[in-house]
Structure 1
Amino acid sequence: MSPSPGFVEIPLADGGWERVDLRETRQWKDHPQPFASRVAFAAAHVVADPRGENVPGAPAVVDWESTLAFRRELFRFGFGVAEAMDTAQRNMGLDWPAVQELVRRSAEQAREYDARIASGAGTDQAAPGSLATVAAVRDAYAEQVAFVESTGSQVILMASRQLAAIAQGPDDYVTVYADLLRQAREPVILHWLGEAFDPQLAGYWGSRDVDAATATFLDLVREHAAKVDGVKVSLLSADHEVALRAALPDGVRLYTGDDFHYPELIRGDGTHHSDALLGAFAAVAPAASAALTALDDGDLALYDDEMAPTLALSRHVFEAPTYHYKTGIAFLSWLSGHQPGFTMVAGLQSARSSVHLGRLFALANDAQLLPDPELAAHRLRLWLESAGVAR
């Protein structure tokens, strides 16, 4: 790589360019142990094999070495791994055989590092439209739950597109989830993924009215609280999350999935707080680790200062259409040197524009989250040139 100037120019939507001066990298402190005051999971992405046939509709071909190394980077900063979630392109290219291999390998590595792992169990092994009854959906869920448990990972019960498609009302959701909770060996995490992340999940819990859906959800949690470690809510509504966490039974955590408001929700209101299970943490792990360390030390001002620069970056990564946020996570991983190329399963690297990804670089640079700014700038220039938008 030839020497580069200390700046890069990013494209603007109006055809212009913006100069971004490279900030000196920050030497972030390792934090290999879990945090004391909050439970924090980072939902990790998968790295596609750049030689693989990772085109839309093809089975996923994963770069296992880079994928597992990225999880070790999260362990390094104190995070547990939320595995095989929507960040890993569940229902967007990561097929069930690849999910099984991912969870198996990741759980084995987590044991080696004495790190926490929780993995998604859903119904996506079944072809769309192939599950015609509530019982069939329950059985598909049960198959995945049994597999995740067999690896030693904690279970995250993900939202099911198949259940959303056939459920006639709240009772069908309660029937499926109650059976699964009774069968689970250990307490699970329930994941309520909103339609901003997956439009096919609109009306989950049997109603498009959020208050009605929340009532059903809460009744389920209260009835089976002994089998619910916590709930992850990804509705991108801070007000809803604050109200929900106050209504949860004692001992049931609220794992925020709100990538737009997480600093205030994790900080808490003096009475209640949210723990975290966030895709954003895969992009901002060093800074979030510094913030959570400050929170452990009771230094709220430092917590706020460390978290603040991450929020603009996260909001950009998750801007509408929110379900394409995975592209930004993978792009940042490539810029940061964590993977050899910017390739994604199902060809999802095409899901964000050069303008969006250029701004992503600028925000990561502002937050001092690029381990090698010159390498990141070099890679950005190469990518812009290949996209036809270089100066």
Structure 2
Amino acid sequence: MSDVRIMLPAPDGGKRTHVLADRSPVHDFTGGPPTSRTVYAAAHVVADPLHDPPGLDWESTLAFRRHLWSLGLGVADAMDTAQRGGGLDWADARELIARSGAEARAVGGALVCGAMTDQLAPTGRWSLGDIAEAYLEQAGWISRSGGTPVIMASRHLAAVARGADDYHEVYGKVLDQVDGPVMLHWLGEAFDPAMAGYWGGADLDRATETVLAILAEHPGRVRGIKISLLDAGREVDLRRRLPEGVAMFTGDDFNYAELIRGDEHGHSEALLGVFDAIAAPARAALARLDAGDLDGYAALLEPTVPLARHLFASPTSAYKTGVVFLAWLNGHQDHFHLVGGAQTLRSVPHLVRLFVLADRAGALADPASAARRMRSFLAVAGFEA
């Protein structure tokens, strides 16, 4: 490919030329699911900004899921990457789960989906029983739709729980009554400040003991737990203490490369929002890992880490903006709009840096097309090349 060059705004207010790398061969990857790791990419949704009120572009949303399945990745749907709790309500999530379930059956794709309590009004004094029933309603819908429920952290529970015993009560009722094994999700306050003190207190060591106790009290009911704390050491410690039959699914979008690789004591599986943005290089890296080629795995995946760390930079909850920006650059949707107008949550300089890091990570499927879209974005922002 001939050189693709683009003029970008520089941090000092000037201009600089960026020369894009050649298209990476990882975007030609074909194959089935990884054999050495279980991996899910948490998928974003595509907004439909041309209707009033705005809704979802269902065809583009589902086409992106088919793209992930075509790479051999599982899909994690209706979770925080899909703006759950940040613009996507239960009514739309319910339809998304049903539609994704039908698509998964059609292609034989793996699917897990987030079960929350967001059908409850955001304010009010909800009982622990109300919260448990809300979880069970959503988990039942997910199971009937063909997915595995991921019992996500509940803002309602975080608001009303008085201590660890309340978490035991709610999770106990849910795990006793769900139809089949589920996954749990520990979402840190970096992703959602409302999750401060989840599991009954601010002390993470005590919170870990609460989680382990709940798992021990319900053997066979939990398939795995996803940890999104951005703390590799704490994840490894918990991973080594999990009961037999419970897998660790990393949600650490900063340290995923080392956590998936693992050590002599084990490894983490993966359920990651960043894999939405780096699906092709991540899948190619996992193929190297399947073959026992650790150097090849590192050569493909480690260049994506600077991109991920920028994507999930503080405020971490704004990472969905960058995920959708990259989906637009890669041609998976026709516009850069998010549900609820969340495209405004990142600055132009942040997205310029994201573009450069995506290029260095081999995450741009068609550099020439991505450059054309980037030029149009910068023109709207008032940048004169």
Shorter-chain TM-score bucket reads over 0.9
- Whether contact under 8 Å (2:47, 2:338) holds in the other structure is yes
Listed as ranges, the matches of 1:1-391 within 5 Å are 6-28=4-26, 29-53=28-52, 61-391=55-385
AA at the equivalent of 2:297: Y
Give me the whole-angstrom Cα distance separating, in 2, the residues matched to 1:232 and 1:279: 12
AA at the equivalent of 2:170: V
SS across alignment from 1:385: helix
| TM-score normalized by the length of structure 2 | 0.97
> Which range moves more in the overlay, 87-96 or 370-379?
370-379
Give me the whole-angstrom Cα distance separating, in 2, the residues matched to 1:330 and 1:24: 22
Q: Deviations over 1:217-269 (max 9, x none)?
A: 11111221301000000000000001000000111100000000000000001
- Matched residues, number: 383
Give me the whole-angstrom Cα distance separating, in 2, the residues matched to 1:114 and 1:22: 36
Deviation at 1:12, TM superposition (A): 3.4
Give me the whole-angstrom Cα distance separating, in 2, the residues matched to 1:204 and 1:17: 46
Give me the whole-angstrom Cα distance separating, in 2, the residues matched to 1:13 and 1:92: 30
Give me the whole-angstrom Cα distance separating, in 1, the residues matched to 2:55 and 2:369: 26
Give me the whole-angstrom Cα distance separating, in 1, the residues matched to 2:302 and 2:182: 31
SS across alignment from 1:302: helix
AA at the equivalent of 1:176: V
SS across alignment from 1:120: strand
SS across alignment from 1:226: coil
Identity of aligned residues (%): 50
Q: Deviations over 1:151-197 (max 9, x none)?
A: 11110001000100000000101110111011111111100000000
Give me the whole-angstrom Cα distance separating, in 2, the residues matched to 1:149 and 1:52: 31
Relative to structure 1, the CA distance from residue 16 to residue 248 in structure 2 (aligned partners, 3 Å threshold; closer, same or farther) is same
AA at the equivalent of 1:14: D
Give me the whole-angstrom Cα distance separating, in 2, the residues matched to 1:207 and 1:52: 43
AA at the equivalent of 2:218: H
Q: Deviations over 1:82-124 (max 9, x none)?
A: 0000000011000111101110001110111111000000001
SS across alignment from 2:304: helix
Give me the whole-angstrom Cα distance separating, in 1, the residues matched to 2:76 and 2:219: 21
AA at the equivalent of 1:244: L
AA at the equivalent of 1:108: A
- Whether contact under 8 Å (2:42, 2:275) holds in the other structure is yes
| TM-score normalized by the length of structure 1 | 0.95
Deviation at 1:385, TM superposition (A): 1.2
- Whether contact under 8 Å (1:268, 1:274) holds in the other structure is yes
AA at the equivalent of 2:88: L
- Whether contact under 8 Å (1:157, 1:191) holds in the other structure is yes
- Whether contact under 8 Å (2:153, 2:185) holds in the other structure is yes
SS across alignment from 1:350: helix
Deviation at 1:288, TM superposition (A): 0.6
Deviation at 1:9, TM superposition (A): 2.4
RMSD over aligned CA atoms reads: 1.4
- Whether contact under 8 Å (2:3, 2:19) holds in the other structure is no
Unaligned 5+ segments in structure 2 are none
AA at the equivalent of 2:256: Y
SS across alignment from 1:7: strand
AA at the equivalent of 1:351: L
- Whether contact under 8 Å (2:228, 2:250) holds in the other structure is yes
Deviation at 1:10, TM superposition (A): 2.4
AA at the equivalent of 1:122: M
Deviation at 1:46, TM superposition (A): 0.1
- Whether contact under 8 Å (2:101, 2:111) holds in the other structure is yes
Relative to structure 1, the CA distance from residue 362 to residue 165 in structure 2 (aligned partners, 3 Å threshold; closer, same or farther) is same
Give me the whole-angstrom Cα distance separating, in 2, the residues matched to 1:5 and 1:17: 19
Give me the whole-angstrom Cα distance separating, in 2, the residues matched to 1:220 and 1:122: 18
SS across alignment from 1:342: coil
SS across alignment from 1:206: coil
Q: Deviations over 1:8-31 (max 9, x none)?
A: 122234313332102111232434
AA at the equivalent of 1:11: P
Unaligned 5+ segments in structure 1 are 55-59
Deviation at 1:5, TM superposition (A): 7.5
Deviation at 1:143, TM superposition (A): 1.3
Deviation at 1:134, TM superposition (A): 1.1
AA at the equivalent of 1:124: D
AA at the equivalent of 1:146: G
